[in-house]
Chains A and B, each alone.
Chain A
Amino acid sequence: MIELLVGITIFGLAMVPLLWLGSSTTRGAYSVGKHMMASQLAASFLDSLLGLPYKECCEKIAELKGQGRTGVLQNQDLQTTLQVVNDEGIQSDMETSFRYFQSEFNFDEDEDDRILRLNVEIYYRVVEGDDSVLASVRLSVLKFGDRNG
């Protein structure tokens, strides 16, 4: 009997770090997924801005910057994409996946050289239910306008 008690105690004690490690691994796996999604989102936002003519791009990024940090689902381009998908299941999955993602746009412009630096930062929750701890992915790229001699 004593042996059983000792065994259970040892097992219990041994399980504590193991469970902690397991939980941490699960959190890590969740975080990795979110990070990848954030990275893809940032890249797609940048690519869509790069596809615009220079002036339109300036106007668009200025408008997005003015909105501050907002939920990505509020982004018009993403909304349009979701509407195009036209599948309730996928739409609902996407909305669930992105519901805690936030985006923030910024830019700098060298007007003389017509170079525009686009910055996009996507924030996501490290823990699903906790909005106090956020991680982010930040990407930057330069867009060039015609300098006309």
Chain B
Amino acid sequence: MRSAGGIIPIMMRVLSPKKGNITIILIGLVSVMLIMVLGLSRRMSSHTQLLTLSDYTQLSRYFLESYAGDILQQISLDVNKPGSTLYNAFRAPPSNRALDPRFYKQSGMLSEMAEELNIEIQSPPTISFAGSEEIGYPPGFECPPHLKGNEKRGLLEIVCKAKFYGRMYTLRVQYPFTVVMRMTPVLKDFILFADSIAREHGESKIGPNDNINIMLTRDGKHPPDFDSGIVNHNRMRPGNKYRPMVMLPPLDPVEYASAAVSGKVFLGPSDDSVYLNLAGDTREEELDTVGQAGSGLVSASVGEMFLVSPDTFKVFDSASKYQYMTVFQKPDGSSVRMMGMEVPLKYSQLAKMGILGFSQEIVPQYSESIFSGAAYTVEHFLNSGDNACEFWRTLKDSGTGYGEGFMALASGLKLMGLKPDDINFGHVNRQVFGNVLSRFFVLTFWWPPSGGGVPLKYDETRSPTDFPTTTVSLYDYKFEPLYAHLRFQDFMSRMVSGKNWNPRMSSVDNLPEGFMPFNYDPIKSTKRILTNADFTSGDGFKANDKLENLMRSWFRVTEDGTPQQKGIEARVGKSFASGQEFLEAVGIDNDKFMVNGIVYVAGSLKVPPLKMKNENIGGGIVLVDGPIELDSITRGYNLNTDDFKLGNYGAMLFQGPAFDYYQKWKTEITQENFLTFVSLRGDPITIKGEALIGVHLVNLNARQPSPYGQIVWGPSIRKEIVFCGGIACNYLDLPDRLLEFGQVESSCRHLRAPFFIYHSAMASSQPAYAVQMMENMRGYMLTAERAPGDDD
């Protein structure tokens, strides 16, 4: 415009009446047009330059994103490999420090792309942590100080540079990451966590609707077929085969004696009580007395009276020992014998207290009952009508009672495994949480010196000092205890835990008399109900709320738009649209199963047999929003579960094939490769393989208020079931589970039940963590500058 402005005054000055005006005008016009075209051309040229720059930037952008992706892939590859630099760096205390980039090796495809585009990669990239914060816990979880901050979320900043046509392009990008526990805190310490199992009791907690105490017991065994002929249970069908659910003690002497690593049990809810009928065995001494090796020709007893230690009763001292003895005699002179103890009384008199578990031999209607032909049966000891205890009345009341046949049914759930066969190991040290009570019978018979004994009948309301008297051949005898503090109720016959106790009405510390908590501390020799306040996990976590509440809030799934919880939801690293997508991502096609964190799977999940070795399994938690089907998980162990057996009688637990396997698993399977499968909305977890090793199954969000099958063993299982890990659910729905177990032939003559074993790695004092790298970029910044030493 400046040059055009100069021409116009010249033209005005030159225009005159003289000739040559047109030429001048034309020259002027042409000049103006020339200038306009030159201007346009220059503008186009700058457009083209801008376009070129835009193209270069576009190419560089995609290249640098590929470069950053390459780095991220290699971080993800190494960050969960124990011992690697990255493994340690991400698990170190949080700080904004740089990461040594030497782990990074440029991938071949990136180099090819650089060469093709003529881009010069600037190595090494700069990688650093850019802030992190602790991931909190829902209310009730008390994280120990030494673990605080270990679970965290943060940002990893990657700065990568490339030189392209004289310009240096820099991409600065941040990737979020989280460090989370590979297993569920608190829950992982339990071999069995059934937080609503009390509902399986039915209203009466005994009888045909009680679906916990359902295992027919006879001759110290659970007969394979349910064929008592004297009991009609609503769910247990005559002719069907059932096997109990036995939580075996650890197959390792050290773990056996340690409450921390033996696998805890919780039977809930915390405001209801659970009664387990202890199985009885009235056979001879060597079969049901702790420490007696027996002949070795007999199978181990399923009797559980070993759980009733003498210190349960006030009339015995701690040094007392049970003996197999005659409690009273039949009219024909034969004896009614059972396990028990003699209690000396004043004036050289004697009371004999026998203890009996639930077994067909004590049902009077059974032709081979121990009371057959006797003057007294259980009824003569337990009283009748209003004077009898609640549960006994429920069975015995004429007309409305369920019948004495239910005395043949013991618990289908055995929390302490089989009777210890070696006295040196004593009682397994396993903590049982919840209001779990042992139910069994005590029959006391008073033997005055001149014969003519008297049963000490149950009578809770009788005056404590009102001891019985009897007259034999004109002599009056009085029952008088040796010690004045002992009351009639301490001696009387009874069904222990024989009435319904409502924990909502009285605290567990004030458990009324006549109940025996199932939990036993063999070191302190005390029986006590354990609550969440008594809980400390192997890694130091404590529970400041009811255990069921704790887990409910941990696994709560929030609806869209509501604030996210601090539990599992805040820890999810990746989501998959389908089970198939998940399986591909964990590397199933490459014989790997790398979960490495906490992942969410929408829809159902079918997991094929996982036979890959431990090192090819990356532990983590799989949250499934649908039904789960699991085949065997054998982790490279050549395991034929039909060969799975306990040792010979006398050394069942700490010898034999099962022991040998566990010794391997114990060290080779760690939390780093433990797998947890969670059914998020109560859909069933169906097990279709016989062996699940190193697995935690969780189904704690019941889809209905009544019991149903949440963890189910499929009909395709034909070999012995071996499960090493933990189970957490609301309901077991035991009748169906025991029927499923009953379809399989036992592999071991001692344990006629599936093998449920806890794995001590679950209760490790040092929890394992997984690092989860997210691919969603943040803080994205692409810059370009003239490359040093380059002229454009």
Contacts and interface: CB of A to CB of B under 8 A. Distances in A.
A139 to B, nearest CB: 6
A142 B58 contact: no
Contact of B113 (A3, A7, A28, A117): A117
Contacts of B108: 110, 113
Contact of B594 (A3, A139, A146): A146
A124 B44 CA distance: 19
Interface residues of B, number: 53
Contacts of A149: 77, 80-81, 587, 592, 594, 596, 616, 618
B69 A3 contact: no
A28 B66 CA distance: 33
A10 interface: yes
A126 B577 CA distance: 43
Interface in B74-92: 76-77, 80-81
A29 B47 contact: yes
A146 B30 CA distance: 67
Given A7-B22, A55-B584, A137 B55 contact: yes
Interface in B9-46: 19-20, 22-23, 25-26, 29-30, 33-34, 37, 40-41, 44
A43 to B, nearest CB: 6
Instruction: Please report whether the interface of chain B is mostly helix, strand, loop or mixed according to DSSP.
Output: helix
Given A3-B22, A36-B51, A149-B77, A141 B58 contact: no
B62 interface: yes
A6 interface: yes
Interface size class of A (residues with CB under 8 A): 35 or more
Nearest to A21: B37
A148 B30 contact: no
Contacts of B72: 144
B590 interface: yes
Contact of A147 (B59, B69, B76): B76
Interface string A77-99: 00000000000000000000000
Contact of A3 (B19, B37, B109): B19
B252 interface: no
A134 interface: no
Contacts of A113: 73, 107-109
Contact of A32 (B29, B47, B58): B47
Contact of A11 (B26, B62, B65): B26
B617 to A, nearest CB: 9
Residue in A35, A115, A146 with the greatest tally of chain B CB atoms within 10 Å: A146
Contacts of B596: 148-149
A67 interface: no
A53 interface: yes
B109 A39 contact: no
B44 to A, nearest CB: 5
B95 interface: no
B44 A14 contact: no
A3 B21 CA distance: 9
Contacts of B592: 148-149
Contacts of B227: none
A2 to B, nearest CB: 11
Contact of B109 (A15, A35, A117): A117
A7 B26 CA distance: 7
B66 A148 contact: no
A108 B107 CA distance: 14
B47 A144 contact: no
Contacts of B76: 146-147
Given A110-B109, A115-B109, A140 B62 contact: yes
Nearest to B117: A140
B51 A21 contact: no
Given A25-B37, A39-B55, A7 B23 contact: yes
Nearest to A14: B30
B570 interface: no
B590 A148 contact: yes
B143 interface: no
Given A55-B584, A110-B108, A147-B76, A18 B34 contact: yes
Nearest to A47: B62
Interface in B575-598: 576-577, 581, 584-587, 590, 592, 594, 596
Contacts of A141: 62-63, 65-66
A115 B107 contact: yes
Interface in B587-634: 587, 590, 592, 594, 596, 616, 618
A132 B114 CA distance: 32
Contacts of B576: 53
B293 interface: no
Nearest to B24: A7
A146 B577 CA distance: 16
Given A3-B20, A146-B76, A149-B77, A55 B51 contact: no
A109 B353 CA distance: 80
A144 B70 contact: yes
A92 B34 CA distance: 39
Nearest to B110: A142
Contacts of A46: 62
B44 A147 contact: no
Given A110-B109, A148-B586, A142 B70 contact: yes
A133 to B, nearest CB: 17
B318 interface: no
Contact of B62 (A15, A21, A139): A139
A25 B47 CA distance: 11
B73 A147 contact: yes
Nearest to B59: A139
Given A53-B577, A53-B581, A149-B618, A4 B22 contact: yes
9 contacts: A22-B40, A32-B48, A32-B51, A36-B51, A113-B107, A140-B117, A141-B62, A146-B587, A147-B73
Given A10-B26, A108-B109, A142-B66, 6 more contacts: A25-B44, A117-B109, A145-B585, A146-B594, A149-B81, A149-B587
- For the complex of A and B, 3 pairs with smallest distance between CB atoms: A148-B587, A148-B594, A142-B66
